[in-house]
Each structure stands twice: as structure tokens, then as C-alpha cells.
């Protein structure tokens, strides 16, 4: 037996997971939990909560106290990075994020440290709280958005269905777009290093919109910047595992794993777990990929889907997770049900 936390053991030593893999859920801290909604209301805005180390730490621990996941993830958001670089970011209730006009020449590091230092303080508080509350087997994940996905929000000015603006910039003005990606890559490295210094034990890179690019775009804007982030972090912190989540990458999951150097890859629900066991698991640890709607809908469908995933991926290094974040209408009791299926205590 390794004395490593199970989540880290599977990532670092490629331990075979068997039928009871380590587990956590993307967006495990959030609006489906009444105790989150209570603190969120007290904090005021979403960003007020993110930049309040005491409350953000408390919110991070909420799902761990209820369910005892194998990993806690820093409570923050991928859009604190553009905010720290000087672009205006707002969260309007029920509407998602809204960003101010993008002016590349005005982005920079002047306020970077000042804006992000509460996030680093949250990380170190969480490490302390996990130990203090007796969660000795729970690892702490730090994260950032991948440069491509963060650029999507910065150029579109918020969420999008088609991503025409950002794709047009990327395809029609590659030099300007490259400058933006390079800035984001460099800023992400600085941001993640500081999270590791503050106590993050693993890193996840969220590339939620990786799936909207063609192959050439995917290689340039998803694989290349991610590879650079992984290489930089590995130089300084070779012992800190990195999980990549290129959501919607389809067959490009394979070159993503081969070329970026990630220790783990998070699969969206569309990826065949049989294929992943055969093709991806020999190369890296696999995480995922229950459809969040299966968790919300429950019943026999959820039971069968969980059993299939566990059975397909049990012979290699594997971490149970959803294929995307917990949906806010999910009943918390569904997660108890899921825990029973995972046979964890």
C-alpha cells in the first residue's frame, strides 16, 4: 500500500483502481447544495464569495463534509484570470458571466498579484482545514481555465453558442490571437505555480470549449498552450500531477494525451469508456465520465451507466467523476445514491 492519498496514488503511481476508484465531482461545491446557497446569499455576489478566503474555504469543504470525496477542488472560477489581467468581469444572476471590451494593449500584470492573492490564501486555508477536520485522505486540486477556453470568454464577452467571434479572430488574425494565447499561457503558469506554493497537490486544466475547433485549430490553440503549461509546471514541480479536460475533443483526445504530457485526462460523456480503456488508459490516468443528467435523473439508468463505467475502466488507473459539472437542479440525495454505487464509505 502506498501512503499517498488514493487520488494522488492513482495519478502519480498509476495504481490500478479496481471497483472502488477514488472519486470527486466537477462543480461539487455549488448551487445544488442548500448550505452553498446559504453562504452565497450571505456573501452577496458570486465573485465576492470567490475572493473571500474564509467563505470560499468553507464552501470548498461543504461537499467533503457531506460525502467525503477523495479530492476537494479550490472554490474559484476560471474567469478570475482575465479579471486579474485587467479585463472587466461580472456575474449577473441567472445570466452567466459578462466581460468588458477586450483591449489587448491594456492587459497586464499591474494588479495580478493583488487580485489573486485571496485565492492563494483560500488554497492554504483549505489545506489547513482538511487536516484539521480529519480529511487526511482527501487531496486538494488547484485549477485554471485553459488559454483557449479563457480566450473564448474574453473575445466573445461572455458565453456563446457558436463561438464565431473567437474562431474568426483565431483563423483570420493568427498573430493577434497568438499574442493573446501567449499572455494567457504565461499568466496561467504563474497562477498555477502560486496555487501549488500555497498547497495545491494536483492541478486540473479546464478546456470546456476544446470541442468547437477543427483539427488544425485544436493542435495550435488547445494542445500547444497546454503542453507549454505542463512542461513549465513539471520543471519546477515534477511531483504535482496534472489533469487535462479537453471537453468534446472526440478522437483528438488521443493526440492531446500523447502530446501535452498530462498525467490524467478527464473524459466528457460522449467518449466511449471501452475505447478509453484500450487507447488512453495505457498512456495516462483516466477520469470521468458519467453524464451529469444521469446523476440528476437517477433510477436504473444511472445504476447501469455507473456500473458500465466502473467495469470498463477498473483494470487501469481511474478516477470516478462526471463528464461535466453537477447540474444545479440535482437533488443532494442523488450523490448519496451514487456513493452507494461506488461502494465507498
The C-alpha angle with vertex 143 and arms to 67 and 12, in degrees rounded to 5, equals: 75
Pairing of strands 96-99, 264-266: unpaired
Q: Are 285 and 306 in contact (CB under 8 A)?
A: no
Task: Specify the residue, 143 or 316, whose C-beta has the smaller distance to ligand CP3.
Answer: 143
Q: Which of 58, 77, 207, 263 is an active site residue?
A: 77
284 lines the binding site for ligand CP3 (CB under 6 A) = no
264 by DSSP, 3-state: which?
A: strand
Q: In the block, which residue shows the cell 466581460?
A: 99
Q: Which stretch binds ligand CP3 (CB under 6 A): 68-76, 165-173, 234-242, 252-260?
A: 68-76
Active-site residue, 153 included: yes
Active-site residue, 31 included: yes
159 lines the binding site for ligand CP3 (CB under 6 A) = yes
CB of 31 to ligand CP3, least distance (A): 5
| Residue number with the smallest Cβ distance to ligand CP3 | 208
Active-site residue, 37 included: no
Active-site residue, 27 included: yes
Q: How far apart are CA 61 and CA 280, in angstroms?
A: 31
Binding test (CB under 6 A) with ligand CP3, winner from 40, 52, 127, 294: 40
Binding test (CB under 6 A) with ligand CP3, winner from 4, 46, 118, 337: 46
Which of the residues 78 through 97 are near ligand CP3 (CB under 6 A)?
A: 78-79, 96-97
Q: In the block, which residue shows the cell 473575445?
A: 155
Beta carbons within 8 Å of 248's beta carbon, 6+ residues apart: 209, 210, 211, 212, 268, 270
Q: Which of 32, 36, 40, 294 is an active site residue?
A: 40
44 lines the binding site for ligand CP3 (CB under 6 A) = no
DSSP letter for 71, please: E
Binding mask 216-255 for ligand CP3 (x = CB under 6 A): ----------------------------------------
Binding mask 179-208 for ligand CP3 (x = CB under 6 A): ---------------------------x-x
Beta carbons within 8 Å of 275's beta carbon, 6+ residues apart: none
Q: Which stretch binds ligand CP3 (CB under 6 A): 70-78, 100-108, 235-243, 286-294?
A: 70-78
Tell me the DSSP string of 267-335: PPTTS-HHHIIIIITTTSEEEEEE-HHHHHH-HHHHHHHHHHHHHHHTTS-EEEEESSPPPTT--HHHH
In angstroms, what CA-CA distances link 281 with 23, 265, 303, 317? 17, 9, 23, 7
73 lines the binding site for ligand CP3 (CB under 6 A) = yes
CB of 195 to ligand CP3, least distance (A): 12
Q: How far apart are CA 11 and CA 3, in angstroms?
A: 14
DSSP letter for 23, please: B
Q: Which stretch binds ligand CP3 (CB under 6 A): 76-84, 108-116, 164-172, 210-218?
A: 76-84
CB of 221 to ligand CP3, least distance (A): 16
CB of 209 to ligand CP3, least distance (A): 8
Taking residue 214's Cβ as centre, other Cβ atoms within 10 Å add up to 10
Task: Specify the residue, 149 or 285, whose C-beta has the smaller distance to ligand CP3.
Answer: 149
Active-site residue, 36 included: no
Binding mask 297-336 for ligand CP3 (x = CB under 6 A): ----------------------------x-----------
228 by DSSP, 3-state: which?
A: helix
Task: Specify the residue, 188 or 281, whose C-beta has the smaller distance to ligand CP3.
Answer: 188
Picking from 321, 204, 221, the residue whose alpha carbon sits closest to that of residue 271 is 321
In angstroms, what CA-CA distances link 199 with 150, 196, 282? 24, 5, 29
**Residue numbers annotated as active site:** 27, 31, 40, 77, 153
Contact positions vs ligand CP3 (CB under 6 A): 26-31, 40, 46, 73, 75-79, 96-97, 143, 145, 159, 206, 208, 325
Amino acid at each position: 500500500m502506498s501512503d499517498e492519498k488514493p487520488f494522488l496514488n492513482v495519478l502519480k503511481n498509476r495504481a490500478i483502481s479496481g471497483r472502488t476508484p477514488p472519486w470527486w465531482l466537477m462543480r461539487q461545491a455549488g448551487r445544488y447544495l442548500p448550505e452553498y446557497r446559504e453562504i452565497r446569499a450571505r456573501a452577496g455576489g458570486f465573485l465576492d464569495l470567490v475572493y473571500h478566503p474564509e467563505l470560499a474555504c468553507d464552501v470548498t469543504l461543504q461537499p467533503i463534509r457531506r460525502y467525503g470525496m477523495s479530492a476537494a477542488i479550490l472554490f474559484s472560477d476560471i474567469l478570475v484570470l482575465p479579471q486579474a489581467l485587467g479585463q472587466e468581469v461580472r456575474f449577473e444572476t441567472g445570466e452567466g458571466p459578462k466581460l468588458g471590451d477586450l483591449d489587448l494593449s491594456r492587459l497586464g500584470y499591474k494588479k495580478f498579484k493583488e487580485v489573486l492573492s485571496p485565492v492563494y490564501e483560500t488554497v492554504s486555508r483549505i489545506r489547513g482545514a482538511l487536516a484539521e477536520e480529519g480529511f487526511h485522505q482527501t487531496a486538494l486540486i488547484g485549477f485554471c481555465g485553459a488559454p483557449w477556453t479563457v480566450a473564448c470568454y474574453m473575445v466573445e464577452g461572455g458565453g456563446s453558442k457558436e463561438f464565431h467571434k473567437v474562431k474568426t479572430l483565431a483563423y483570420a488574425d493568427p498573430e493577434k490571437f497568438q499574442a493573446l494565447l501567449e499572455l494567457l499561457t504565461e499568466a496561467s503558469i504563474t497562477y498555477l505555480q502560486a496555487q501549488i506554493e500555497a498547497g495545491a497537490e494536483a492541478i486540473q486544466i479546464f478546456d470546456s470549449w476544446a470541442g468547437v475547433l477543427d483539427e488544425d485549430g485544436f493542435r495550435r490553440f488547445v494542445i500547444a498552450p497546454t503542453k507549454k503549461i505542463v512542461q513549465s509546471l513539471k520543471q519546477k514541480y515534477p511531483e504535482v500531477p496534472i489533469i487535462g479536460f479537453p471537453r468534446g475533443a472526440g478522437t483528438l483526445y488521443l493526440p492531446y494525451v500523447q502530446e501535452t504530457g498530462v498525467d490524467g485526462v478527464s473524459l466528457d460523456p460522449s467518449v466511449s469508456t471501452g475505447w478509453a480503456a484500450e487507447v488512453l488508459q495505457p498512456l495516462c490516468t483516466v477520469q470521468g465520465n458519467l453524464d451529469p443528467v444521469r446523476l440528476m435523473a437517477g433510477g436504473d439508468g444511472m445504476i447501469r451507466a455507473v456500473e458500465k463505467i466502473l467495469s470498463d475502466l477498473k483494470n487501469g488507473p481511474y478516477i470516478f467523476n462526471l463528464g461535466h459539472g453537477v447540474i444545479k437542479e440535482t437533488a443532494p440525495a442523488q450523490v448519496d445514491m451514487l456513493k452507494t454505487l461506488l461502494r465507498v464509505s
